[in-house]
Amino acid sequence: MMKTLFDQYRRVHLVGIGGAGMEGLARLLAAKGCVVSGSDQADSPSVALLRQEGFAVSVGHDGQLVQGVDLVVYSAAVPADNPERQAAAHEGIPTAIRAEVLGELSRAPLTLAVAGTHGKTTTASMAAAILRRAGLDPQVLIGGWINGRPQAEVGSGEVFVVEADEFAGGFLHLYPSLALVTSIDAEHLDYYGSLEALERAFGQFLARLPFCGCSVLAGDGLVGERVLADLQRPHQTYGMADDNDYRIAELEERAWGSRFALCFDGQKLGEIELQVHGVHNVRNAAGAAALTCALQVEFAVIADALEQFGGADRRFQRKGEFAGVLVVDDYAHHPAELAVTLAAARQSGRRVVAVFQPHLYSRTRDLAGAFARELAAADYVVLAAVYAAREAPLPGVDSELIEGAMRANGYKTVAYLPDREQLVAHLVDICRRGDLVLVMGAGDIGEVAGELIAALAAGEYS
């Protein structure tokens, strides 16, 4: 298939090129010899970076942009009435959703697919770091920047590490040789409708493994019993409970890292020291270790690679500290992710100021109460306006739903500030020496971290 894709479709246009995953796909296709162009609905740091790298990227959508291309690829967030999709259909230009192209790329000799509601970007990145340290020079496509590395890497090896996204059933196009599932939680219910349907999709994903394939699954109840009961392929589990194949033991949590032992079948393989913070990252590391152990990577290599792993961008990422105020940025956008991220922040011993931008109106409507409960772990909460992403606004749905739920629960130190400038000014006003400001969300809220640091550095805070 590689020959078919890169020989037959030399000129490829990506609609939504600045989105998570599409940006990395552009780099991977270009490195494979394709001439890649793209468009996005708005300018962004990703779009600007792609332009700097030589990609022809247009802001705004126009049917003329697909003239002369061999293939139009679009993300799941791009609607059918998009002008470029319509023009491609009218002109008879082949089109494919991103997941289909990724599926064809995954026909590599050995594909490691990392799936899960939470933690898949970091876990996939850890696995890639281990394989890199082992000299296997993997190809990589993930949903974020890690240790300063881009979303896509074209190595010379035969192993392809890919983040398997469950959104809109995208991971059902993949052809994994080995698969890892970090967790299954109620997410993307606007598409699946129920947790049971989501679990069925994960079961279908695991069923795509070949008869000789193997899956590595999070234990401790993080992957539903229904999924485990239906597995038809060999599998191993990892976690803290004694019944896991790979067991986390002797855990020591530190201010900005952890140390733990990893055991297999009751035998201690060795110890792993992490620079990244939180129990969730201990689980991520254990999963990556278990997955790469299946490829016969030596444990000493695994431990060395994980010790050097510096974390993913926007995954409890330290952005800076000025005037005694530490600013941390995180991608958390689901109640379960808020819980582990806030727990990690609380371990710092600082007063925690949480800044949260809900992602999607449907998710805000469905999970407002859960968001309110988890955010109560912070000492002070600032809510930004909902980030719409692929959705149109829903009547009566905004961040005030979360604010109202928090106040109804007796939590008083919460403010909803939809205006970005007012939000940053409010943070400058309330911050005090020793605070940890935790910026969370999957939209553009990460910009607030930089804006706050700039304000603090400029002396707007005293």
Rounded to 10°, the helix 335-346/361-375 angle is: 30
Catalytically annotated residue among 120, 122, 153, 341: 120
CA distances from 184 to 120, 181, 196, 385 (A): 11, 8, 10, 27
CB 14 within 8 A of CB 22: yes
Catalytically annotated residue among 163, 166, 199, 451: 163
Task: Provide the token pair at 72.
Answer: 């139009």
Catalytically annotated residue among 111, 117, 121, 122: 121
Quick check: is 120 catalytic? yes
CB 243 within 8 A of CB 249: no
Provide the edge-to-edge strand list for the sheet that holds 71-74.
56-59, 35-40, 11-15, 71-74, 95-97
Start-to-end C-alpha separation, the chain = 61
Provide CB contacts within 8 A for 204, sequence distance 6+: 172
Pairwise CA distance, residues 162 & 260, whole Å: 26
DSSP state, 63? G
Pairwise CA distance, residues 239 & 51, whole Å: 43
Provide the edge-to-edge strand list for the sheet that holds 152-153.
152-153, 139-141, 159-163, 110-115, 178-181, 214-218, 235-239, 246-254, 257-264, 267-274
Question: Quick one: residue 396, left, alpha or beta (phi over 0 = left, psi -120 to 50 = alpha)?
Answer: left
Q: Which residues are catalytic?
A: 120-121, 163
